[in-house]
């Protein structure tokens, strides 16, 4: 397996920094698996109880609750209270040198599933938002990420009208969320107009009558209005079904995610039924009921926000009353009030049926978000044993739940019920072709785990080729099924699909190939032990936010693994100091000593002749043991030169764990490797992974300061996540 380096002259420095860390216990979190259970032996639902001020009530006992199914009282057999309080958000790090908050951005905190307290999907219904509402939602989302997002939150910003390549995966990385927010734009093809209401204007027959056509009758005007309204309702329903379908997809993906799960839906609303059009109910209500049942089984609560805020229902500047009948003008306010109510009805139904809340008629979306987050700090799990009639399709298609609590002024919210089908029956896999399976895994914003994958994407720049992103994918070969071959060999066949998406969700590049791997003897055992790295490079013609997605399907077992990673490609033409992706290499102490003894003796690939390691595998997998040496290398772009054509840079490294700074190195002079292209200055360093470091995820942050640059362009930073394993 060949070496991977950003440039062929890449050599590591003999610079060593060491640190040790006292082991810190991981907070014990309550398991969130199967919050809602619907089986033949147990029906379990989550219940939120708040006081008159909206605060969670935490001291209730099982005897304080009454639960009924279809009007029949049930005996409570399972009862518990779950606290889902999240840790406070990260605060700026103070430097040891000056004790002032650093202006260097903090790296994202990698979370394991048992550390996630809340999983929040911020769903922007751009199929139904007006131009005015989009502005308010974007502002609220930025404030949420800035101020309200907590350390143990897993968050995604998802647009209902986005393509499958939109920046959709759940993350703790605020950079990715900001990039997704930037792509929240008004959808001119959706059901939302410029304002909250369609502007008042004369219909064709009204214009004709106003022009003096005496043949236009009142009956003709009424018929025309009905036809126009039916068409408007049908068009709106098409987009409403699209909105519900997008939320349906999101809920399915959230089914296996950890934490207290919620969807915050920002929309201008949708009508379920219309008094003048009874047939309209069938088009929407079935989709809504299926969505609420799916949400309840996945333990996802939906909180809905009417993004229109406080509205004026009278005549506005955008209305053109010329030619409009006096009756329509007179009824305009009541018509628009009815439209507000109808569209809020759909949002209210989604929230009430899934245990969420609604936030209407307010211009402060973030105040509603704060209340929704407060609402998720704790909940009760209540279960009972169902009888044989619960899942009898002949007598009960839907089972209605009612939960009461014996506490004055208590507000109880719970899931309305469930269809008479068990979770096991619903989870039966559907038949898909091999291509459909891998494409579904790749397009989902959620990683498939049938094959363990680790993806690392690295930004770099070449003088001739320009900017590029190199993706390194480590594959755990034990998850592939090898079949016996003649002569004692082993063979595995797998499909690879890799796609890069731009910030607008459009596909930029792709790779789709089938590979056959043949190995024998010791090579097979080594492959099972160490895995292998699949890597590919895509050129980047335009700076911006990108998402790289890879899916692998094993032909024999049909197992699928997928991974995705967000990366921001900087604009080097702006002349800002920028750092490339960071390459890693792990050495034992003995290898490091040999490296020092043989300094200067390098192979053509740039590695020391005294030992053999694999920086490609180390950079992709990023799993290291204690009491070893971690070497890192990078390039610096756009550094300024003084009058003598020399650089004046300093470097500092930091180590974070769980968002907390645990090691901060001193600012040290930038050690430039021998080279002529100072616009791509190469450097490297190493540190000891101390024997007292606790197992878990860490972040290495490298900051380079250009002392010749202006203040705003002076610092560049890059980070890489790694894991300490036993």
Q: Give Cα separations from 450 to 252, 495, 529 (angstroms).
A: 17, 14, 18
- On whether the CB atoms of residues 13 and 686 are closer than 8 A, the answer is yes
- On whether the CB atoms of residues 720 and 622 are closer than 8 A, the answer is yes
Question: What torsion, rounded to 10 degrees, do the Cα atoms 367, 372, 376, 379 define?
Answer: 120
Q: What confidence category does residue 445 fall into, taking pLDDT thresholds of 50, 70 and 90?
A: low
Q: What integer pLDDT is reported at residue 396 of this predicted model?
A: 64
CA distance 370 to 292: 23
Name the least confident of 17-31, 167-181, 187-201, 320-334.
17-31
| Domains and their CATH numbers in the chain | 16-25+432-725 (2.60.40.10), 40-84+378-421 (2.60.40), 116-373 (3.40.50.410)
* Range 30-39 average pLDDT: 61
HSE toward the beta carbon, residue 299, CA cutoff 13 A:
27
Q: Tell me the β-bridge partners of 22.
A: none
Asked if pLDDT for residue 601 goes beyond 50, the answer is: no
Q: Hey, which of 94-103, 136-145, 213-222, 610-619 has the most confident mean pLDDT?
A: 136-145
Sequence-ordered list of residues with C-beta below 8 angstroms from that of 299, at least 6 positions apart, any chain: 32, 34, 35, 36, 46, 261
Q: Give Cα separations from 198 to 316, 416, 719 (angstroms).
A: 11, 34, 49
* Range 376-398 average pLDDT: 82
Asked if pLDDT for residue 194 goes beyond 50, the answer is: yes
- On whether the CB atoms of residues 153 and 376 are closer than 8 A, the answer is no
To the nearest whole number, what is the mean pLDDT of the chain? 79
Q: What is the pLDDT of residues 336-367, one digit of tens each?
A: 777 777 788 888 988 988 889 999 988 899 99
Taking residue 82's Cβ as centre, other Cβ atoms within 10 Å add up to: 16
Asked if pLDDT for residue 600 goes beyond 60, the answer is: no
Q: What is the pLDDT of residues 197-224, one digit of tens each?
A: 566 677 777 777 777 787 878 888 777 7
CA distance 724 to 198: 58
Helix 131-143 crosses helix 365-374 at what angle (to 10 degrees)? Answer: 50
- On whether the CB atoms of residues 224 and 160 are closer than 8 A, the answer is no
Tokens of 325: 């009948």
Which of 50, 15, 38 has the alpha carbon at shortest distance from 378?
50
Which is more confident, 371 or 333?
A: 371
Q: Give Cα separations from 379 to 15, 221, 236, 549, 722 (angstroms).
A: 52, 55, 36, 36, 34
Q: What integer pLDDT is reported at residue 88 of this predicted model?
A: 52
Helices and strands in the chain: count of H runs, count of E runs? 13, 33
Q: What is the pLDDT of residues 627-647, one digit of tens each?
A: 999 999 999 999 999 998 899
Q: Tell me the β-bridge partners of 121.
A: 156, 263
Asked if pLDDT for residue 674 goes beyond 90, the answer is: no
Kind of pairing between the strands at 358-359 and 37-38: unpaired
Name the least confident of 165-174, 496-505, 594-603, 662-671.
594-603
pTM above 0.95, yes or no: no
Q: What integer pLDDT is reported at residue 423 of this predicted model?
A: 64
- Edge-to-edge strand order for the sheet containing 453-462? 453-462, 466-475, 532-539
* Range 556-562 average pLDDT: 92
Q: What confidence category does residue 490 fall into, taking pLDDT thresholds of 50, 70 and 90?
A: very high
């Amino acid at each position: 397996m060949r070496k991977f380096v950003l440039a062929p002259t890449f050599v590591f420095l003999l610079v060593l920094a060491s640190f040790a860390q006292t082991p810190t216990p991981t907070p014990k979190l309550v398991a969130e698996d199967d919050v809602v259970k619907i089986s033949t032996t147990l029906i379990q639902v989550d219940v939120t109880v708040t006081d008159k001020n909206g605060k969670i009530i935490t001291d209730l006992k099982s005897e304080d609750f009454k639960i009924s199914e279809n009007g029949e009282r049930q005996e409570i057999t399972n009862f518990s209270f779950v606290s889902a309080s999240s840790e406070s958000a990260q605060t700026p790090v103070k430097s040891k040198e000056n004790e002032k908050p650093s202006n260097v951005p903090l790296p994202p905190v990698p979370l394991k599933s048992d550390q996630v307290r809340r999983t929040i999907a911020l769903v922007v219904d751009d199929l139904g938002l007006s131009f005015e509402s989009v502005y308010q939602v974007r502002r609220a989302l930025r404030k949420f990420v800035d101020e309200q997002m907590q350390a143990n939150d897993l968050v995604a910003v998802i647009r209902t009208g986005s393509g499958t390549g939109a920046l959709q995966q759940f993350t703790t990385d605020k950079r990715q969320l900001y990039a997704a927010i930037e792509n929240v734009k008004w959808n001119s093809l959706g059901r939302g107009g410029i304002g909250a209401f369609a502007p008042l204007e004369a219909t064709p027959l009204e214009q004709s009558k106003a022009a003096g056509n005496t043949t236009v009758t009142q009956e003709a005007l009424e018929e025309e209005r009905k036809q126009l309204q039916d068409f408007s309702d049908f068009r709106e329903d098409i987009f409403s079904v699209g909105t519900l379908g997008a939320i349906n997809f999101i809920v399915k993906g959230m089914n296996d995610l950890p934490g207290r799960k919620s969807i915050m839906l920002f929309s201008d609303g949708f009508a379920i039924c219309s008094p003048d059009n009874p047939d309209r109910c069938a088009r929407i209500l079935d989709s809504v009921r299926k969505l609420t049942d799916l949400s309840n089984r996945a333990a996802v609560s939906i909180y809905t926000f009417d993004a229109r805020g406080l509205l004026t229902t009278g005549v506005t500047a955008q209305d053109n009353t010329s030619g409009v009948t006096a009756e329509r003008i007179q009824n305009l306010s009541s018509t628009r009030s009815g439209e507000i109510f109808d569209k809020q009805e759909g949002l209210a139904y989604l929230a009430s049926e899934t245990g969420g809340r609604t936030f209407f008629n307010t211009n402060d979306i973030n105040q509603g978000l704060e209340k929704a987050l407060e609402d998720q700090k704790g909940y009760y799990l209540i279960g009972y044993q169902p009888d044989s009639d619960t899942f009898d399709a002949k007598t009960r298609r839907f089972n209605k739940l009612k939960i009461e609590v014996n506490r004055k002024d208590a507000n109880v919210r719970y899931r309305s019920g469930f269809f008479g089908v068990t979770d096991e029956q619903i989870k039966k896999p559907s038949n898909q072709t091999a291509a459909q399976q891998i494409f579904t895994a790749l397009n989902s914003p959620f990683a498939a785990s049938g094959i363990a994958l680790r993806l690392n994407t690295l930004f770099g720049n070449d003088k001739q080729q320009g900017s590029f992103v190199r993706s390194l994918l480590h594959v755990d070969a034990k998850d592939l099924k090898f079949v016996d071959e003649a002569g004692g060999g082993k063979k595995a066949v797998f499909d690879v699909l890799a796609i890069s998406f731009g910030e607008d969700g459009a596909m930029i590049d792709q790779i789709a190939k089938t590979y056959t791997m043949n190995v024998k003897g010791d090579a097979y055992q080594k492959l099972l032990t160490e895995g292998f790295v699949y890597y590919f490079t895509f050129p980047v013609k335009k700076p911006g936010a990108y998402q790289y997605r890879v899916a692998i399907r094993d032909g024999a077992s049909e197992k699928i693994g997928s991974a995705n990673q967000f990366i921001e490609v900087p604009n080097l033409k702006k002349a800002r100091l920028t750092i490339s992706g960071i390459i890693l290499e792990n050495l034992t102490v003995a290898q490091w000593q040999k490296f020092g003894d043989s300094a200067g003796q390098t192979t053509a690939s740039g590695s020391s002749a005294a030992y053999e390691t694999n920086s490609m595998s180390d950079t992709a997998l990023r799993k290291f043991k204690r009491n070893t040496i971690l070497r890192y290398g990078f390039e610096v772009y756009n550094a300024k030169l003084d009058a003598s054509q020399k650089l004046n840079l300093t470097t500092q490294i930091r180590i974070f764990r769980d968002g907390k700074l645990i090691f901060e190195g001193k600012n040290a002079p930038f050690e430039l490797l021998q080279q002529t292209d100072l616009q791509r200055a190469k450097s490297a360093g190493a540190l000891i992974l101390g024997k007292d470091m606790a197992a878990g995820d860490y972040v290495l942050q490298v900051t380079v300061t250009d002392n010749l640059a202006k203040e705003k362009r002076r610092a560049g930073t890059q980070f890489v996540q790694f894991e300490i394993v036993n």
